[in-house]
Amino acid sequence: MENTPYLKTDLPSNQSVLNGKLQAKLDYIGDIQNAVATNDDRRVYELLDSQKYNTKIRQTQNAASNRALSVLVDDMQDELSHHLGQQLIQYLSEKFPFFYYEETQLGVFQLFFGNWWDRRHFGILDPLAVNFIFNDQEYEKLARAVELSEAGQRYNAQVIEDTTRANEALQQIVADQNQRDAERAQLMAQLASSEDRGGIFGNRSQNEQREVLKERLAQLDAADDKAKEVPELIAANNAQILNLSKEDTILIYEQRAISDTFGSFANFQEAVASLYETYVTYLADAQGGK
């Protein structure tokens, strides 16, 4: 058999491409490290999400994503959030002076509304996205309170009114005790008289009359049982009214704080929605360019 040489696999070198990609990753990490070391938060935001930065700050159309590089620092989110939170909170203390922040774990900032008693937990501050993540229920409560205030109403006014009316009805049950006692005595006398007249074999009309009397006596007994519960029920209703009144007061404080700072709730909403742009632009202006 004739010796035929075997084919050899010949792979082209891609070393230059590989080196280029590795260098890009090294450069990215170096840029992040330098930006953190020099407290250049504007640059950090650009490096974390260049597409968002270029779209919102430079107004670039169809900006490219750098996600392939930013994934390299995904395991440093808590540390980066803590770092960025320091300068961001200083800025927010002037722009949103009614908010207070508590770092409950590294890079996690709980958001509270107000420096007054019984202030509300209002959500979370996300320094990486430069964004308030409001508690939906609390935010909707405030928005509804603003809407009602424009009509001269308080958020809990209707519930407080209904509960007050319920207390008045409960008080009346107690106030009617003497009247019920007198009526019971009269009904008992009528029932005894009816039974004496009719005996065991009373006619149908007398039996029906006795049933009516017994039914009314049962209603009076139920009212007496209810009267025993009245103090506890009124106390619970009063506690609810007090809590709702406190909540209305807090909501008034919050609305006043927003109005004093922004002029209107609509302006506040706009400031929240554009927080990333306004803050990062502030950083860029402070450092002399975008």
Q: What is the pLDDT of residues 112-123, one digit of tens each?
A: 999 888 889 999
Concatenated DSSP letters of 218-255: HHHHHHHHHHHHHHHHHHHHHHHHHHHHHHHHHHHHHH
* Contact indicator for 139, 132 with CB cutoff of 8 Å: no
Q: Is residue 217 part of a domain?
A: yes
Q: Do residues 70 and 163 share a domain?
A: no
For residue 124, the SS3 value is strand
Residue 45: inside a domain = yes
The residue behind tokens 């929605």 is: 273
Query: Is 258 part of any domain?
Result: yes
Domain of 223, in residue numbers: 157-262
Residue type, 87: Q
Is 271 part of a structural domain of the chain? Answer: no
Segments in the chain below pLDDT 50: 200-201
Angle between helix axes 265-273 and 204-262 (nearest 10 degrees) is 70
Q: What residue type is 116 in one-letter code?
A: W
φ, ψ of residue 149 in degrees (nearest 5): -65, -30
Report the b/e string of 129-150 with b at 16+ CB within 10 A.
Answer: bbebebeeebbebbeebbebbe
Both tokens of 12, joined, read 């082209």
Q: How many domains does the chain have?
A: 2
Instruction: Give the pLDDT of residue 175.
Output: 76
Q: Which residues pair with 100 in a beta bridge?
A: 112
CB-based contact 6:18 (threshold 8 Å):
no
**Does pTM top 0.95 for this prediction?**
no
Question: pLDDT tens digit string along 79-104?
Answer: 999 999 999 999 999 999 999 999 99
Asked whether residue 186 is domain-assigned, the answer is yes
CA distances from 29 to 24, 43, 71, 72, 260 (A): 9, 12, 11, 8, 44
Q: What is the DSSP string of 206-219?
A: HHHHHHHHHHHHHH
Is 105 a member of any domain? Answer: no
Model pLDDT, residue 195? 65
DSSP structure class, residue 126? E
Q: Is residue 125 part of a domain?
A: no
Pair of tokens at residue 191: 């029932």
- Helix residue spans in the chain (DSSP H): 15-37, 41-48, 50-56, 67-70, 77-95, 136-149, 157-175, 177-198, 204-262, 265-273, 275-286
Asked whether 124 and 136 are in contact (CB, 8 A), the reply is no
Q: Among 38, 60, 75, which residue terminates a domain?
A: 75
Burial class (CB in 10 A: 0-12, 13-18, 19+), 258: buried
In-domain check, residue 235: yes
Residue 180 has a pLDDT of 67
Please identify, among 55, 75, 95, the residue that sits at the C-terminal boundary of a domain. 75
